[in-house]
């Protein structure tokens, strides 16, 4: 289960660009090798670990796309009404059972097998009936309203690729292609802790100077959204021996250890010492805002990530760094999430060489353009700003000044959270 080489996160200590951090992680983190077979009903969100080849064509045979009448196009008068006798009936799952010859019209329903012979289907709204005769207006094209065998999927075609995270439509296509189960990465086992003497469990009577632990809930939910099996190991006490024991025990049966808090200076931090006692720890300073300090390391050969304690920093750093890392561990394709061009309605000054994300809400302006409005309070501790926002305006490293009206990249939360 070793996904790491020894001391793989070593880095010089200077401010690191996000691209550099991601490239380093990509180079040094491997994929958890174990896979499992799951029923299609359990496959949502899992990372596919096989190519799926269709065993059948979809549709398997030519069928009708509408309710109407199947006819031979050659029987239709291009300039005048055509009258044809209705000689049979084909419904979905109930084929005509014989070829239909020239001069016949077969009553047909959506999804019904096209009888041998007819090549065109007249929609019933475009016909009228005179007893058992259908009256067809001129003007239809040959082959209309017919779905051809294999027009969706051809037998033997690869319809899904190893590394995809399975969405509802992917699972539907696997079913259409004849599959009942899929080979996926086994769930990643992630141990999640919070650290900090000021933290209390929600529900406890509030103590002076304390706050309720929110990061463990935000990060736990992000992990669940990625399909991880999360071991919620609570708030770590400020007791070095217990932290060493807790991290050591978790390393034995988890693929990733995740904490939040205590990564900036680390003086009072037993987590740092506990990781170092059993592996290595490297404090990275990323050229990003919010976020910046992040600790990467390993306990034995299990990767360890210490997220910054500030709630906004912890979620944003998770999305920017830990999410791609988890996708990689799961064997998923790590493609950058889609950003969308929107108009900024705010001005913003920023430091050069730093990637910044501004929490923003989208609305339509009078001209129908999508406009990103900045959330007024932008501290790294303002968790409500993430709740109010639809996503993040992403400002690149080389930008120093943003003027209202500028076109910016918008990263909706829906691209990176469940």
Dist. CA 144–CA 138, nearest whole Å: 13
DSSP per-residue letters across 13-52 = SSEE-HHHHHHHHHHH------EEEEEGGG-TTPBB-S-E
Please report how close the Cβ of residue 288 comes to ligand MOO at its closest, in angstroms.
8
Q: Where are the beta strands (DSSP E) in 40-137?
A: 52-53, 63-64, 68-71, 82-90, 105-108, 120-123, 127-130, 133-136
Q: Which does 211 bind (CB under 5 to 8 A by kind): ligand MOO, ligand LQZAQKY5, none?
A: ligand LQZAQKY5
- Tell me which residue of 282, 321, 355, 332 sits closest to 23, measured CA to CA: 321
Min dist. Cβ of residue 378 to ligand MOO (A): 10
Which positions touch ligand LQZAQKY5 (CB under 6 A)? 194, 196, 198-199, 211, 213-216, 260-265, 292-293, 308-311, 313, 380-381
Say which entry of ligand MOO, ligand LQZAQKY5, none residue 213 contacts (CB below 5 to 8 A, set by partner kind): ligand LQZAQKY5
- CB-based closest residue to ligand LQZAQKY5: 309
Q: Return the structure tokens found at 322.
A: 């830990």
Residue 147 or 355 having the CB closest to ligand LQZAQKY5: 355
CA gap 385, 401 in Å, rounded:
22
Do residues 308 and 319 lie in contact, with contact meaning Cβ atoms separated by under 8 Å? Answer: no
Residue 374 beta carbon to ligand MOO: minimum distance, rounded to whole angstroms: 17
Note whether 36 and 183 are within 8 A (CB).
yes
Q: Are strands 105-108 and 82-90 parallel, antiparallel or unpaired?
A: parallel
Query: Longest Cα pair distance anywhere in the chain, in angstroms?
Result: 93
Burial of 184 (0-12, 13-18, 19+ CB in 10 A): buried
Q: Name which of 198 and 300 has its Cβ closer to ligand LQZAQKY5.
A: 198
Q: Which is nearer to ligand LQZAQKY5, 49 or 292 (CB)?
A: 292
Binding site for ligand MOO (CB under 6 A): 289-293, 308, 310, 313, 380
CB of residue 215 to ligand MOO, shortest distance in Å: 12
Q: Which is nearer to ligand LQZAQKY5, 26 or 198 (CB)?
A: 198
Instruction: Find which of ligand LQZAQKY5, ligand MOO, none residue 289 binds, CB within 5 to 8 Å per kind.
Output: ligand MOO
265 binds, among ligand MOO, ligand LQZAQKY5, none (CB under 5 to 8 A by kind): ligand LQZAQKY5
Q: Which does 227 bind (CB under 5 to 8 A by kind): ligand MOO, ligand LQZAQKY5, none?
A: none
Select 291 or 297, whichever has its Cβ closest to ligand MOO: 291
Residues 10 and 77: their CA atoms lie apart, in Å, by 79
């Amino acid at each position: 289960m070793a996904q790491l080489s020894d001391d793989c996160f070593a880095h010089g200590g200077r401010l690191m660009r996000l691209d550099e951090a991601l490239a380093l992680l990509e180079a040094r983190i491997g994929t958890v090798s174990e896979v499992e077979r799951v029923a299609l009903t359990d496959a949502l969100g899992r990372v596919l670990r096989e190519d799926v080849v269709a065993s059948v064509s979809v549709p398997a045979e030519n069928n009708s796309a509408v309710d109407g009448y199947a006819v031979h196009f050659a029987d239709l008068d291009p300039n005048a009404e055509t009258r044809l006798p209705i000689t049979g009936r084909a419904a979905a799952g109930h084929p005509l059972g014989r070829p239909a010859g020239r001069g016949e019209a077969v009553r047909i329903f959506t999804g019904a097998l096209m009888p041998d012979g007819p090549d065109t289907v007249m929609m019933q709204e475009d016909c009228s009936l005179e007893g058992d005769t259908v009256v067809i207006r001129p003007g239809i094209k040959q082959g209309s309203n017919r779905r051809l065998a294999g027009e969706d999927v051809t037998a033997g075609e690869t319809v899904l690729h190893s590394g995809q995270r399975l969405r509802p439509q992917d699972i539907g296509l696997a079913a259409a292609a004849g599959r009942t189960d899929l080979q996926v990465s086994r769930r990643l086992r992630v141990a999640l802790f919070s650290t900090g003497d000021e933290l209390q469990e929600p529900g406890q009577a509030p103590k002076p100077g304390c706050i309720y632990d929110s990061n463990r809930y935000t990060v736990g939910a992000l992990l669940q959204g990625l399909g991880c099996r999360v071991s919620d190991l609570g708030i770590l006490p400020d007791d070095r021996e217990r932290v060493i024991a807790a991290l050591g025990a978790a390393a034995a049966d988890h693929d990733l250890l995740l904490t939040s808090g205590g990564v900036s200076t680390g003086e009072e931090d037993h987590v740092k010492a506990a990781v170092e006692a059993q592996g290595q720890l490297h404090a990275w300073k990323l050229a990003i805002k919010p976020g910046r300090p992040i600790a990467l390391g390993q306990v034995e050969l299990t990767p360890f990530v210490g997220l910054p304690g500030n709630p906004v920093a912890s979620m944003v750093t998770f999305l920017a760094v830990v999410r791609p890392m988890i996708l990689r561990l799961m064997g998923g394709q790590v493609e950058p999430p889609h950003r969308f061009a929107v108009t900024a309605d705010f001005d913003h000054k920023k430091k050069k060489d730093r990637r910044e994300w501004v929490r923003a809400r989208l609305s339509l302006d009078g001209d129908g353009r999508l406009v990103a409005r900045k959330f007024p309070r932008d501290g790294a501790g303002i968790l409500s700003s993430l709740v109010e926002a639809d996503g993040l305006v992403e400002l690149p490293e080389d930008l120093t000044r943003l003027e209202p009206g500028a076109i910016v990249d918008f990263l909706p939360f829906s691209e990176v959270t469940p």
